[in-house]
Amino acid sequence: MPVSNGRDLERFIAFPYDRYRGDPLWVPQLRMDVRTILSPKKNPFFEHAEVQCFLARQDGKVVGRIAAIKNDAHNKEHHDRVGFYGFFECADQDQTVANALFDRAAVWLKQRGFDTMRGPMNPSINDDCGLLVNGFDTPPVLMMPHNPEGYVTLHEHYGFKKAKDLIAFQSTNHGVPERLTRAAKVLADRKGITLRSLDMKRFDHEVELIKQLYNDVWEKNWGFIPLTDKEIEHLAKQLKPVVVPDLVVFAEREGKVIGFGVALPDLNVALKKNPSGRLFPGILRILWNARHLTRLRVLLLGVLKEYRQTGVDALMYHHIWERGTAKGYHWAEAGWILEDNAAMVNASTRLGFVPYKTYRVYDKPL
């Protein structure tokens, strides 16, 4: 059944908290954050997109959910007819329920002229996306999804095929290999490249710099969708309370920003202590457990095309790791990275990261 009122939307949001009760790895996000993602009034994503949520019921009980997503920005960028699905959850990993959910999303998308259903996207590739297909023994980091292994079978039995794998890397070493650091510093001195941390006193100005760079840095990636100014501002507003200035780095040359990197404390460690996902009294538990985080997620690390493969990425990562270690962080996830982005995969490996999780984006013809 389609979600058509506030009460059903609350049921849609609440379902995972029941579905994953007792799962030691699942991390309950704050319900208010999920509401914001799904709110046309609060999320600028809806300025170029439409989302229809659906619930599956059996004997009056919610047993599954899914959202069908029309993303005009994607179709404008890629000149195709791809529609999306996301927020998929299914009780008891029941194939009949899963098929009904996929069918309902497929009908909605087909009615709007799409020829392919792609996902999961929650709700886009710029948010958490992909189905976990490898690495079920560790919890997800901040802004990354988690699902039972059985969801892979539900997708494959319905007829979904892999479109692309997204690889997450982890590092527990003590920074960039010394030889890379030395070489990068020599090159930086030669080319006049300098690094600096985020200036929180000029936060709005720093966001403007990221706006100028973001779409240029990632424009050629598979599935890339440009972020609008409002979407970048919205993301910055959401992340500002958890940003650690020393873990955001800008690379500059002759006064021009040529790259930036963003690492965030893995707040999931604290969120995990609030199983209800409710702000009150959960925020007190979250704040208490957020005091001594030791895990990071390197969310973004990008350089303008003309400065790639020059060691700037190694310099920025060294900056993040050095300052992170000084603050007590000793583990980091980098990613995700497209499986066939050889340059970034090789760079991550050189920097001391190893792959440890795989997320899959699926396609199915309509």
Using a pLDDT cut of 70, give the percent of the chain over it.
96
pTM of the model: 0.94
Do 221 and 358 reside in the same domain of the chain? yes
* Phi (first) and psi of residue 344, to 5 degrees: -75, -35
Give the pLDDT of residue 279.
67
Give the pLDDT of residue 162.
98
Of 162, 193, 218, the residue that ends a domain is 162
pLDDT in tens, 203-228: 999 999 998 898 888 877 899 999 99
Give the pLDDT of residue 236.
93
Residue 206 lies in a domain: yes
pLDDT in tens, 24-35: 999 999 999 999
* Separation in Å, CA 126 to CA 106, 112, 205, 301, 325: 22, 22, 22, 14, 28
Note down the domain range covering 286.
171-365
Q: Count of domains in the chain?
A: 2
Give the pLDDT of residue 282.
56
* Phi (first) and psi of residue 227, to 5 degrees: -85, 135
Do 145 and 204 reside in the same domain of the chain? no
Give the pLDDT of residue 309.
74
**pLDDT category, 285, cuts 50, 70, 90?**
low
pLDDT in tens, 55-100: 999 999 999 999 999 999 999 999 999 999 999 999 999 999 999 9
Do 242 and 269 reside in the same domain of the chain? yes
Of 132, 162, 192, the residue that ends a domain is 162
- In sign, the C-alpha dihedral spanning 10, 13, 18, 21 is negative
Do 130 and 221 reside in the same domain of the chain? no
**pLDDT category, 284, cuts 50, 70, 90?**
low
d(Cα 353, Cα 321) in Å, to the nearest integer? 12
Residue 307 lies in a domain: yes
Do 62 and 144 reside in the same domain of the chain? yes
**pLDDT category, 286, cuts 50, 70, 90?**
low
pLDDT in tens, 91-125: 999 999 999 999 999 999 999 999 999 999 999 99
Do 151 and 200 reside in the same domain of the chain? no
Burial of 117: CB neighbours in 10 Å, binned 0-12, 13-18, 19+: buried
Give the pLDDT of residue 261.
94
Do 176 and 298 reside in the same domain of the chain? yes
pLDDT at 172 over 80: no
Using a pLDDT cut of 90, give the percent of the chain over it.
70
d(Cα 258, Cα 213) in Å, to the nearest integer? 8
Do 11 and 142 reside in the same domain of the chain? yes
Do 333 and 272 reside in the same domain of the chain? yes
**pLDDT category, 179, cuts 50, 70, 90?**
confident
| Domain CATH number, residue 234 | 3.40.630.30
**pLDDT category, 196, cuts 50, 70, 90?**
very high
Q: Average pLDDT, whole number, for the chain?
A: 91
Contacts 24+ apart (CB under 8 A), 274-278: 274/28, 274/30, 275/17, 275/21, 275/28, 276/17, 276/28, 277/17, 277/28, 277/29, 277/30, 277/31, 277/34, 278/30, 278/31
Burial of 245: CB neighbours in 10 Å, binned 0-12, 13-18, 19+: middle
| HSE toward the beta carbon, residue 131, CA cutoff 13 A | 27
Residue 178 lies in a domain: yes
Do 177 and 80 reside in the same domain of the chain? no
CB neighbours (10 Å) of residue 346?
11
Give the pLDDT of residue 177.
72
Residue 1 lies in a domain: no
pLDDT in tens, 255-264: 899 999 999 9
pLDDT at 127 over 90: yes
d(Cα 42, Cα 362) in Å, to the nearest integer? 28
Do 327 and 193 reside in the same domain of the chain? yes
Do 189 and 312 reside in the same domain of the chain? yes
Of 123, 142, 162, the residue that ends a domain is 162
